[in-house]
Amino acid sequence: MPRILDHRLISERYFFPRDDRVVNPLEISTRDGCLLACAHWNRELSRTVVHFHGNGETASDWEHVLGEFFAECGWSLLLVEYRGYGGSRGIPQLASMVSDGEDIVRALRLDPADTVAFGRSIGSLYAAELAQRLPLAGLILDSGIHDLAERVLLRVTPSELGVSRGELDYEIRELFDQSQKLSNYGGPTLLLHARDDHLVDITHAERNARACKRPTLCVFERGGHNAIFATNRAAYQAAVRAFLGQMTTRLPPSR
């Protein structure tokens, strides 16, 4: 039976795919045969940050600035490209993409103990999912979502989907219960959020932090949802660098 969250209207109104592509795409097949055009920067480094971007972005938006930054930190960067974005096949669907992160990590044979998941905005949902599925070294949430129902209901109504509010809420809890996923993850989590984020307000970060076992909440007084990095670049990078430094002290030397 088709998932409610894979409904055409949600895909059309909640995702904004573009065809902008990474420089050297790395095609990875998911368990259902969808080819994703990802990118892996500095793959010779054994420690890897797996990055899930926002719904209005593409992997190409981040590959240079983050690829170079993480290399300076001693980490490779694996940019996940969503279905229907930037050369990836298929169409973006909330539910169908839940297992894509795990498929990518397993396809590349990354060691979870040397891996950090990094999710921005909607990508925070998939980063948290990956941390629940695999024993990752760490988790980073940038402008992360706590309550997906709140976000979905801004775009569609249950009646448009042909379901009741209860049915929609049930499926969201089943697949995207952030409180449960974050509380199940025992590793350290860095949460980055702008106080004046008017798209995903600061209470999402606060609720996510309360659910985490080992949270570090970094709130920026300037910038908004789409300007958090550009406005606070030095402080943002310092927070991420310090977080990864903590990971490095617990991991064996790079091979």
Query: What's the chain's average pLDDT?
Result: 95
What 3-state class would DSSP assign to 42? coil
Q: What is the pLDDT of residues 126-164, one digit of tens each?
A: 999 999 999 999 999 999 999 999 999 999 999 999 999
- pLDDT at residue 174 greater than cutoff 90: yes
Query: CA-CA distance, 61 to 248, in Å (whole number)?
Result: 27
Q: How many CA atoms lie within 13 A of 46 on its CB side?
A: 10
For residue 103, which amino acid is it? D
Q: Cβ distance 191 to 198 under 8 Å?
A: no
Q: What is the pLDDT of residue 254?
A: 39
Query: CA-CA distance, 203 to 25, in Å (whole number)?
Result: 36
Query: CA-CA distance, 100 to 173, in Å (whole number)?
Result: 19
Residue among 197, 204, 181, 187 at smallest CA distance from 246: 187
Tell the burial category of 179 from Cβ atoms under 10 Å away from its Cβ (0-12, 13-18, 19+): middle
> What integer is the mean pLDDT of 79-101?
98
Burial 35-71 (b: 16+ CB within 10 A, else e): ebbbbbbbeebbbbbbbbbbbebbbbbbbeebbebbe
Q: Quick one: residue 47, left, alpha or beta (phi over 0 = left, psi -120 to 50 = alpha)?
A: beta
What 3-state class would DSSP assign to 110? coil
Q: What is the pLDDT of residue 250?
A: 52
Indicate the domain borders of the chain: 4-249
CATH of 4-249, one of 1.10.10.10, 3.40.50.300, 3.40.50.800, 3.40.50.1820: 3.40.50.1820
Helix (H) or strand (E) run with residue 36 in it = strand 35-41
> Which own/partner pairs from 166-174 qualify as long-range (CB within 8 Å, at least 24 positions apart)?
167/4, 168/4, 171/3, 171/4, 171/5, 171/95, 172/5, 172/148
- pLDDT at residue 183 greater than cutoff 50: yes
> What integer is the mean pLDDT of 88-113?
98
- Mapping DSSP onto H, E and C, the string for 133-147 reads HCCCCEEEEECCCCC
Q: What is the pLDDT of residue 255?
A: 36
What is the value of pTM for the model shown?
0.95
Q: Judging by DSSP bridges, how do beta strands 35-41 and 26-29 pair with one another?
A: antiparallel
Q: What is the pLDDT of residue 253?
A: 39
